[in-house]
Structure 1
């Protein structure tokens, strides 16, 4: 199979099941933004390869699972309404995110003010991934009735929360400095 097909050279692409849509279709934007978020997560965690801390393997395993589920969320968004979805997001996936958030958050100092994305490279990268997930969420909301599974929006919402906590957790584990927002600047 070749990487290039030339089928998209005129601004059209195929959804799952072959339906053709414009490359700027909101559905394409939604699953493309999930792909972008997945890449941002991958880049962020790649900065951890040289680091070592007690919970690193558990953290990396959690992030890999999130990336896999996010890939499936993108596939769900790429499936036209009314068509069968090969893999479907479930409430349990959101509950897993919530459990992970609670686990990492209990190790962190309570926030007293807003913080700027900063600290360790992986932490800053996770903050970037969080903002991309927020864009994916906004785009998925824009699909309205075309969005077959409303859990997609809930998952993306919770995932952005998790990435915020993950960024803080990485800083905590690796001594990265959180920069507080100074409103008087």
Structure 2
């Protein structure tokens, strides 16, 4: 494979527009660019989660399974960014959505039913999984906003929905395998 970027800056975006893979130039606040940016943010947050998991796997070998399932998601998010930048490009498929569903089902069986609402916390690792989950939801909303203006093909929206579910269950599984108590929501006292 040849070099993809020979020069990092191009000066073509200095006037507030950016180029898409199909040759169009759009404002940097266009819903498509917003969606691409949210996918990028999610990918960055997921990278932080994976780095934190890698640091903890020595003490908690049960966490390596999470890394094995989540690491490919960074690549698929990059693919999704490509789909958003080049609307005719479709690479994500239903098999990837099903891969996430299988992991969700297996992990959810291990953690058991949710008996109360939980808060993002208990440890930095659990909290980072929840940051990823909430970023996945934001990304899904931005993509849905784009979809309302320019219908999206493929399974990107379903993928983001399952990914947020997977990250929620991952946060619970991290807590369980690291023997950390989940932080349960407590309703405000009634006057």
SS in 2 for 1:13: strand
1:178 is matched with: 182
> Which secondary structure does the structure 1 equivalent of 2:21 belong to?
coil
Q: Match of 1:74?
A: 81
TM-score, length-scaled by structure 1: 0.91
Shift of 1:42: 0.8
The 1-side partners of 2:96 and 2:49 are apart by 22
Please say if 1:147 is aligned against 2:159.
no
Instruction: Tell me the matched-pair count.
Output: 181
Q: 1:167 aligns to what?
A: 171
| Contact 2:93/2:154 (8 A) holds in 1 | no
> Which residue number corresponds to residue 121 of structure 1?
124
**For residues 116-170 of structure 1, what are the alpha-carbon distances to aligned partners after superposition, in whole Å with 9 as ceiling and x for unaligned?**
0012212111101111111111111112251331521111111110010011111
Q: For residue 3 of structure 2, what is the aligned residue in structure 1?
A: none
Distance across 1 between alignment mates of 2:10 and 2:175: 43
Pair 1:55-2:66 in alignment: no
Structure 1 contact 44–124 (Cα < 8 Å) conserved? no
Match of 1:132 in 2: 135
What is the distance in 2 between the residues matched to 1:57 and 1:173? 11
Q: Is the 8 A contact 1:90 1:151 kept in 2?
A: yes
1:65 aligned partner: 72
In the alignment, structure 1 residue 88 sits paired with structure 2 residue 88: no
Whole-angstrom CA distance in 2 between matches of 1:62 and 1:8: 36
Q: Distance in 2 between matches of 1:70 and 1:111?
A: 28
SS at match of 1:71: helix
- Structure 1 residue runs of 5 or longer lacking an equivalent are none
Q: Give the Cα separation in 2 of the matches to 1:39 and 1:179.
A: 25
Q: TM-score, normalised by structure 2?
A: 0.88
**Ranges in structure 2 where 5+ consecutive residues have no aligned partner:** 1-5
